Homo-oligomer: A and B are copies of this chain.
Amino acid sequence: MKESRSKQRLWFNAPKAPLLIVLSGPSGAGKDAVLTRMKETGFPLEYITTLTTRAQRPGERDAVDYRFISVEKFQKMLDSGELLESANVYGNWYGVPRQPAKQALDRGQDVIVKVDIQGAATIKRVVPQAVLIFLTPPSPEELALRLKERHTETAFDLALRVKTAEAEIRQLPLFDYVVLNQRDEIDRAVSQIKAIITAEKCRITPREIKL
């Protein structure tokens, strides 16, 4: 009986450890748009909503796009270790809550979190087995255009963000995959991310996540 079970393990795909996918990239790369489209396609993933202390932008929905919380609440969660990572970007706090990610992984469900590049670096240190995807616009010019269209940045902010993005691109080696988010080709980026997840689940060497 025991031998037959061990033979089965040799033959069958072992039950796959769930994945922690980190979607990152410069501000303006289109992370939110890509995630929204992925959700629409019904791809089976647990999407962890990022917490932020920044002001809600027009059109953004609380608890969907972000969970907008006060600096005090954020600080409290940070102090009690409830954040998987946290970063201050352009003066605002962003954080990934640990509990919903841990609970989904414990259920065997793949998890995706959206973080800026500082956050991705932090997660890679804490969870080396995380799969890091770098989403990037095709060019600096395209990035500047997208940020401008957002109408939420001052000229100073805009220049700062483009400059930051150029520095961030140099963090590429930290990441496992790069996905180019071409304008009007968001479905292509989405299908590449899905392919990455499918392929990762076929890897011989499983990525065992401990949160």
Q: Which residues of A contact B (CB under 8 A)?
A: 7-8, 10-13, 133-134, 136-140, 166, 169-170, 172-173, 175-180, 191-192, 194-196, 198-200, 202-205
A selection of 7 A-B contacts at a CB cut-off of 8 Å is: A10-B172, A173-B204, A173-B205, A177-B199, A178-B202, A195-B196, A195-B199
Do B180 and A13 have beta carbons less than 8 Å apart? Answer: yes
CB within 8 Å for A11 and B199 given contacts A177-B204, A178-B204: no
- Contact residue among B7, B134, B137, B199 (Cβ-Cβ distance under 8 Å from A200): B199
Do A139 and B11 have beta carbons less than 8 Å apart? Answer: yes
Q: Which B residues are CB-close (under 8 A) to A177? A: 199, 202-204
Q: Which B residues are CB-close (under 8 A) to A192? A: 198-199, 202
Q: In the complex, how many angstroms separate the beta carbon of A9 from the nearest chain B beta carbon?
A: 10
Q: Which B residues are CB-close (under 8 A) to A136? A: 11
Q: Which B residues are CB-close (under 8 A) to A166? A: 7, 10
Do A7 and B198 have beta carbons less than 8 Å apart? Answer: no
Do A11 and B169 have beta carbons less than 8 Å apart? Answer: yes
Complex Cα gap A203–B140 (Å): 21
With A12-B139, A191-B198 given, can you name 11 additional A-B contacts, CB distance below 8 Å? A7-B140, A10-B169, A10-B172, A11-B136, A12-B180, A172-B204, A178-B204, A192-B198, A194-B195, A195-B199, A195-B202
Nearest chain B residue, comparing its CB with the CB of A132: B204
Q: Which B residues are CB-close (under 8 A) to A178? A: 13, 202, 204
The 8 closest A-B pairs by CB, nearest first: A199-B199, A195-B198, A195-B195, A177-B202, A196-B199, A10-B169, A195-B199, A175-B204
